[in-house]
Amino acid sequence: MQKNRSDFDQHVAQASAALEPRLICLRRDLHRHPELAFQEHRTAARLVAELEAAGLQPRGGVGGTGVVVDIDGGAPGPCILLRADIDALPIHEATGLPFASETPGVMHACGHDLHAAIGTGTALVMAGIAPRLHGRLRIVFQPAEEILEGAQAMIDDGVLDGVDMAIGFHNKPDLPVGRFGMVHGATTASSDRFVVTVRGQGGHTARMHQTRSPIPAVASLALALPALVPALADPAVPAILGLGMIQAGHSHNVVPDTASLSGTLRTRSETVRNTLQAAIARQCRAVALAHDVECALDYRRGVCAQVNDAALFVPVRAALRARFGDVIDELPPSMGAEDFALFSDAVPGFRFHIGSGQPGRSDRVHAPDYQPDEGSIRLGVEACCGILLELLARA
């Protein structure tokens, strides 16, 4: 096995280097033609063409606009899923790059064009040694990550059937290219959204006694809801109840019939999540009673927190260290959301970070001038291949 791993490692290094120009070309083409969630038709067709040209048999239309390709080993073994997301953002690009977006108001500002190239490269490299592997690799090109709906759509189409574990990755400009990031346990938060619509009785502000204004009720909720977190949540467990919008009325002297308030709840604890959801509903009922109005709560659960499987931390770290040396940073978790969480909630999963920061720049994802280092593509391919080989070897 040791000799095989040495041969595999040599193949991965050589094949990744040989593919690098092609993968950069692919990335730039996808960057020039970004597509929003569930609109990734050209992107999917381009990926299918790349995979078919290498003799693989990808399936399109999974989860709407997703692509899946299975790579079967020469002997039975576990099925490992590798997820790469492919959608862009509604941002007008301001990089000035020669391959900048040609679609006004749409940009790959989160690096999913890099992810698509890395996923493609990983599929092509691993296909070259497939007959010597024990198990199956399922490379998944997922749509609609930015709206947190693509993973569920693919799961509904059976992408997790027969899968034993799942690996995800994301580029990270906070880390210089050549470094990698890992997080213990929960890496992101759950993300729920809610809208409270308050209905009262409108009228003239000169005759307030004849109205039941919804505005004081909304104001009360705006103060009371965020206060639920310190009152009810364990202070050792991060939770954020953030309000993003309040809407009421159109004139200075007219009391509106309705007003609304909307926000999000994020936490890395399901217990805290359930507690605060129930408390929001109670608070709405209390405010409705106190102000003699109706409060309609529309609470929509989003994705759960993404939790890295403890048993996968060691082999993932071992794979990265074996290939790249001491270039791993252990990172704090984020309060953002990521729908890879739905994969890792169903099967053991692990999501790691690939450094994409260019020297001399201080980029951030979701910025109109985001310019990741394209050297992260080849390194990402090598990292993904190394992790997959390590997991297959330990199975």
Of the two residues 375 and 3, the one the predictor is more confident about is: 375
Which of 285, 302, 319 is where one domain is finished?
302
Instruction: Tell me how crowded residue 223 is: count the other CB atoms within 10 A of its CB.
Output: 9
Instruction: Note whether 212 and 312 are same-domain residues.
Output: no
Instruction: Note whether 226 and 179 are same-domain residues.
Output: no
In the chain, how many domains are there? Answer: 2
pLDDT digits (tens, 9 = 90+) for 229-286: 999 999 999 999 999 999 999 999 999 999 999 999 999 999 999 999 999 999 999 9
Can you give the pLDDT at residue 29?
98
What is each CA distance from 263 to 144, 192, 204, 238, in whole angstroms?
A: 21, 9, 29, 17
Is residue 4's pLDDT more than 90? no
Is residue 225's pLDDT more than 70? yes
Instruction: Note whether 281 and 170 are same-domain residues.
Output: no
Distance between CA 239 and CA 237 in Å, rounded? Answer: 6
Mean of pLDDT values over 324-338: 97
Helix pair angle (112-127, 41-53), 10° resolution:
20
Instruction: Note whether 99 and 174 are same-domain residues.
Output: yes
Beta bridge partners of 41: none
Is residue 65's pLDDT more than 90? yes
Mean pLDDT in the chain?
A: 97
pLDDT digits (tens, 9 = 90+) for 75-111: 999 999 999 999 999 999 999 999 999 999 999 999 9
Instruction: Note whether 227 and 210 are same-domain residues.
Output: yes
Q: Which residue has the tokens 């959801």?
A: 277
Check the annotation: does 170 bind a ligand: yes
Helices vs strands, H then E, count in the chain:
9, 14
Can you give the pLDDT at residue 3?
53
Q: What is the CATH number of the domain that holds 200?
A: 3.30.70.360
Q: What is the CATH number of the domain that holds 16?
A: 3.40.630.10
Which of 268, 302, 336 is where one domain is finished?
302
Instruction: Note whether 141 and 195 are same-domain residues.
Output: no
Half-sphere exposure of 263 (CA within 13 A, CB side): 18
Can you give the pLDDT at residue 1?
46
Instruction: Note whether 259 and 327 are same-domain residues.
Output: no
What is each CA distance from 326 to 320, 322, 366, in whole angstroms?
A: 9, 9, 29
pLDDT digits (tens, 9 = 90+) for 298-312: 999 999 999 999 999
Distance between CA 340 and CA 142 in Å, rounded? Answer: 10
Q: Where are the alpha helices (DSSP H) in the chain?
A: 2-32, 41-53, 112-127, 150-156, 215-232, 270-291, 310-324, 341-346, 375-394
Instruction: Note whether 249 and 297 are same-domain residues.
Output: yes
Which of 287, 302, 317 is where one domain is finished?
302
Check the annotation: does 146 bind a ligand: yes
pLDDT digits (tens, 9 = 90+) for 151-199: 999 999 999 999 999 999 999 999 999 999 999 999 999 999 999 999 9
Instruction: Tell me how crowded residue 299 is: count the other CB atoms within 10 A of its CB.
Output: 15
Can you give the pLDDT at residue 5?
67
Question: What range does the domain containing 354 cover?
Answer: 1-188+305-393
Return the SS3 of 163: coil
Closest CA to 165 of 142, 194, 184, 140: 140
Contacting residues for 60 by C-beta, under 8 A, at least 6 apart? 44, 45, 48, 66, 67
Check the annotation: does 115 bind a ligand: no
Instruction: Note whether 167 and 248 are same-domain residues.
Output: no
pLDDT digits (tens, 9 = 90+) for 7-27: 888 999 999 999 999 999 999
